[in-house]
Structure 1
Amino acid sequence: MEYKDIIVTRENGTGKIMLNRPRAMNALSMRLRDELEDSLSRLGSDDEVSLIMITGGPKSFSAGFDLKEAVDTNLKSFFHRIFEYHRAIYTVKKFVITAVSGVALAGGFDLALAGDMILASENASFGHVEVNFGVNPIVYPLAKKIGSARAQELCSTGRMITASEAKEMGLVNEVYPHDGFVEAAERRAGEIGRVGGRTLTAIKEATFRNLKKDASKVLKFEFSLTSRLLDRKEFQNRIEIFLRQSGMIK
């Protein structure tokens, strides 16, 4: 597959995936999601890669799913293979670091949660804002990180949290200055990668063995709830109102 919306590099045992839709705040288009799946599969089977780092660059991690596509296409196409995509990002066998600068919203927050370790710039912010459009956020990966009570609060309110608050919750592992963040995250990934890919994979499997057993089943259930909500006209109406107010459509 030829990549247009991501940039993939390999250096010193780290496979780096950089989201590359800066003008759209790295919104997760259907194409970008397909490219992410493909690149994770390829890096996951590359014996020269010890770990994988996903970043959006210095300005924005990801604003979530591309809402304009939800208006321009039918919902079935917009959410095509949504379960398979999430299963792919949450069940990567290799150790994954997500390096978050700027916003990680809705689906972008979900992608950040795919990291076994989350590194954040001091300007990073996280939020399950999709609840404001009448859609249930995916609770499982967040609850796995910070517990069910805090996960329910963030998912039901759509409240944004800063990098420092995310670190206090145990969501983010380390916070770095904004200037030079991507380079600092790459150095940290290199340090962790020296442990060796097989060792990191063993640590990951040992840590999440019980949780990973039910990952696919839990995600499938959550998306069955989502599909009921997406069938409502209210969802599309809220998106269209938001896009008009933001000037993205007329």
Structure 2
Amino acid sequence: MSKISDFLEKIHSAAPTPLGFGADRSDKSPGLGLFASLNKPTKQKLSTLSNNVDAIIFSEKPDNNLVKDIAIPWMCSGTDSEDSVSSLVEIGCDSIHCDLSAAVSAIANDDISVFLSVPVESDWNQLMILNTLPVDGYIINPKDLSSISLKKLSEIGSITRSTDKYCLLSINQSPKASELEALRKVGVMGLIINGDEVSTPDIKKLKTNLTDMPNPNHKRKQRPQVKSVFEIEE
């Protein structure tokens, strides 16, 4: 299992946070993972992102000098052949991102995880077939997610709830806390931001919000029962 898949599996499992004054909370998984896509990587940008996101997604094969010292796992888009995938693995690539045009032989590599681009408009029959493909996860690409309506949430959920694969969602602005919780409840496990455009303060704020999300297994406070007005007091 790749590092990215292993990380997403921990989010999926959502182990409860340790309790007690002496408990170590440093291992607490965030509510959702945070990924940054990059078209124009630089050493400075990678250094900044490495301290604020969980993984990086390159749009094409990066220069070895840029990635040799990256402390977090990274993914690369585009797979032309088995040789191209092997060359990515040699320089530390953890996972690959592809579309339906990718050759099965190219992605059949046990050393990496494979994430497939899935359009949010996919119908149920398509999703049933996609779920049988030899990939580890989906990257869902809505056309516009400036605000999350119930309709868009249901479209995203129709994909996430049709599969047991890891599902990442591309976003163009940071969701509100209530929207983050709604996305998690429909099955999203990670968010992808545009690392070329989103400012560092905004990335840090989003990362904090994701880390501070309550554990999904937390118990609800018991609400006091209201007696009926028709009950007779003794």
Fold conserved (TM > 0.5)? Answer: no
Q: Which has the higher helix share?
A: 1
Normalised to the residue count of structure 2, the TM-score between the two structures is 0.31
Q: TM-score, normalised by structure 1?
A: 0.30
Greater radius of gyration (CA): 2
Highest RCO, 1 vs 2 (Cα 8 Å, sep ≥ 6): 2
